[in-house]
């Protein structure tokens, strides 16, 4: 009965189909170290399909996550299944629905509003290693969501779907400055393999989540609009490589620096439990929970109570209490 919910459900199914296809494709490419010309549109050898408990879990959850007045709103469901049984795909399918529904919920007259943006889902884990593993899988899903968004920006808007990794400084940098310093450090070291980075790793991803190409230090930089630490695929033919003519806000849809997470407020945030202890110490975290004043095309989400004065050269692009288009 809810057109936006049905559209979001279809979006989630397509996104997960592409996630499955590209995960398999990337894995195969990594193993064989082969990257052909036809990797952007892999052929579905076997039609993608849900396991019964996965689609059942998603269908059971849709009404309560989409309807604020649902009688099941306060119910907590525990998905108990053996390791390797497909729990993550069930979660990610529901995530795809939620972020799509959030994007449509705020739209009106073919215009995306501030109610369409911001962090829609937070996933918390107890172990950092597990968190990074889940981030890698979620990155492929977010690439799939971006593929669908770019094919219909009228419906899904110009702002990218992104996934953020929010963990301790020993794993990822707190600021873009730290990320740039780490890049320089790697660039002038004897071993430039990203797998050798032991702390404050701004890359995290060793391979492109979309096609599997191996990444290197040159694939990360501070650029774009809004400015952020961005990662690009190293293979020119990949959809997520750096090409002339791409939108300024285009790159692999991942955030690995705390500063960017607070300014971009990614659709999906994957974090460790201990990181939430920072809520009482870092005021900028409030942006994740929607406590912002406005959005600037150059700076991202902005909160005047914790951020420095907004640059004067951007003042003409800022509309208080609204999203700058």
Residue 200 structure tokens: 């404050």
Residue 61 CA to residue 43 CA, distance in Å, equals 31
Task: Give residue for tokens 């899988």.
Answer: 137
What DSSP character marks residue 308? P
Instruction: For the chain, state the CA radius of gyration.
Output: 19
- CA trace torsion 252, 255, 261, 264 (10° rounding): 0
pLDDT along the chain (325 residues), means of 10: 94 94 85 61 70 93 91 85 86 96 77 82 78 87 96 92 90 92 85 79 92 92 94 92 92 96 95 85 90 83 75 50 38
The strand pairing partners of 223, in sequence order, are 228
How far apart are the two ends of the chain, measured CA to CA in Å? 31
The strand pairing partners of 121, in sequence order, are 268
> How many residues are listed for the chain in this entry?
325
Residue 30 CA to residue 294 CA, distance in Å, equals 42
Residue 149 CA to residue 99 CA, distance in Å, equals 12
What does the pLDDT read at residue 314? 59
Nearest CA among 298, 117, 314, 316 for reference residue 223: 298
The strand pairing partners of 294, in sequence order, are 302
The strand pairing partners of 222, in sequence order, are 229
Residue 267 CA to residue 23 CA, distance in Å, equals 20
pTM of the entire predicted model: 0.90
The strand pairing partners of 230, in sequence order, are 221
What does the pLDDT read at residue 116? 86
Residue 122 CA to residue 163 CA, distance in Å, equals 10
Measured CA angle at 109 (ends 159, 4), to 5 deg? 75
Burial of 171 (C-beta count, 10 Å sphere; 0-12/13-18/19+): buried
Instruction: Look at the alpha carbons of 267, 20, 239, 30 in this order and tell me if their dihedral is positive or negative.
Output: positive
What does the pLDDT read at residue 160? 95
What does the pLDDT read at residue 84? 81
């Amino acid at each position: 009965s809810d057109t936006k919910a049905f559209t979001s459900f279809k979006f989630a199914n397509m996104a997960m189909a592409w996630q499955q296809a590209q995960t398999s494709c990337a894995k195969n490419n990594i193993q064989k170290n082969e990257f052909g010309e036809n990797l952007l549109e892999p052929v579905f050898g076997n039609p993608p399909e849900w396991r019964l408990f996965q689609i059942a879990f998603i269908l059971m959850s849709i009404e309560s996550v989409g309807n604020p007045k649902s009688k099941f709103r306060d119910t907590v469901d525990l998905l108990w299944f053996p390791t390797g049984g497909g729990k993550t795909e069930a979660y990610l399918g529901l995530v795809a629905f939620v972020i799509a529904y959030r994007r449509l919920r705020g739209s009106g007259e073919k215009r995306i509003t501030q109610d369409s943006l911001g962090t829609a889902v937070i996933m918390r884990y107890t172990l950092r290693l597990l968190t990074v593993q889940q981030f890698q899988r979620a990155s492929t899903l977010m690439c799939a969501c971006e593929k669908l968004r770019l094919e219909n920006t009228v419906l899904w808007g110009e702002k990218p779907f992104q996934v953020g990794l929010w963990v301790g400084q020993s794993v990822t940098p707190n600021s873009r400055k730290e990320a740039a310093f780490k890049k320089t450090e790697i660039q002038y070291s004897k071993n430039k393999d990203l797998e050798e980075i032991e702390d404050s790793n701004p890359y995290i991803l060793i391979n492109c989540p979309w096609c599997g190409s191996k990444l290197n230090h040159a694939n990360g930089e501070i650029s774009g609009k809004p400015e952020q630490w961005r990662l690009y695929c190293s293979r020119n033919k990949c959809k997520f490589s750096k090409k002339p003519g791409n939108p300024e806000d285009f790159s692999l849809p991942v955030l690995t620096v705390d500063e960017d997470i607070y300014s971009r407020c990614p659709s999906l945030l994957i974090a460790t439990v201990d990181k939430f202890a920072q809520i009482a110490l870092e005021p900028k975290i409030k942006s994740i929970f929607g406590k912002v004043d406005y959005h600037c095309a150059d700076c991202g989400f902005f909160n005047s109570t914790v951020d420095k004065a907004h640059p004067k050269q951007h003042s003409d692009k800022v509309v208080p209490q609204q999203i700058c288009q």
